[in-house]
Amino acid sequence: MKKYFYLFCCLLMAGTAMAQSLLTPEQLAKRERKKNLTVKEWNTDDKTKTRWLDRIKVYDDQGRCVEEIEYATYGQKWRVTSTYDDMTGKVVEEVEYNDRNRPYRIRKYEWNADGTKAKQYNYLPNGKLYSVKVFEYIFSDK
């Protein structure tokens, strides 16, 4: 049993190292600055000097955005939570919530080996698939 656990840990560390190596030094530095960070954006009315919360972004311990909330004067407009693959560091699922904090759209992603998005599956809150978006990348010599 210890043998399999050790093998699993080695594979996990190798996969994490590989995912980190796909990022540029600038991207790694940017993520480093955002570890465990919460950013609040505030708006202020010029005439009344009234201040209100506009948006919140929450980053995890690896510097990835895991939650974003947009507000209006009446409260939450929408919220998106993101789940990442530990091996690749790519987004695998996003859940969008409405102004009543109920899920209304779920997106799941597939990625190509080169790090580009391959497919996006769109689901209803009940889990029913309603569309699939396929990404095609065409490079030209122009």
Distance CA 14, CA 23 (A): 15
- Computed over every residue of the chain, the mean pLDDT equals 84
pLDDT at 87: 87
DSSP 120-133: EEEE-TTS-EEEEE
pLDDT at 68: 97
pLDDT at 22: 67
* Domain spans, the chain: 2-134
- By the 8 A CB rule, do 22 and 115 touch? yes
The topology under which CATH files domain 2-134 is: Lipocalin (2.40.128)
Across the range 55-60, mean pLDDT stands at 95
Cβ neighbours of 69 (radius 10 Å): 19
pLDDT at 90: 93
The pLDDT of residue 99 is above 50: yes
The pLDDT of residue 3 is above 80: no
- By the 8 A CB rule, do 80 and 66 touch? no
Residue appearing with tokens 């656990």: 5
Strands (E), the chain: 38-44, 51-59, 65-72, 75-84, 91-97, 103-111, 117-123, 129-134
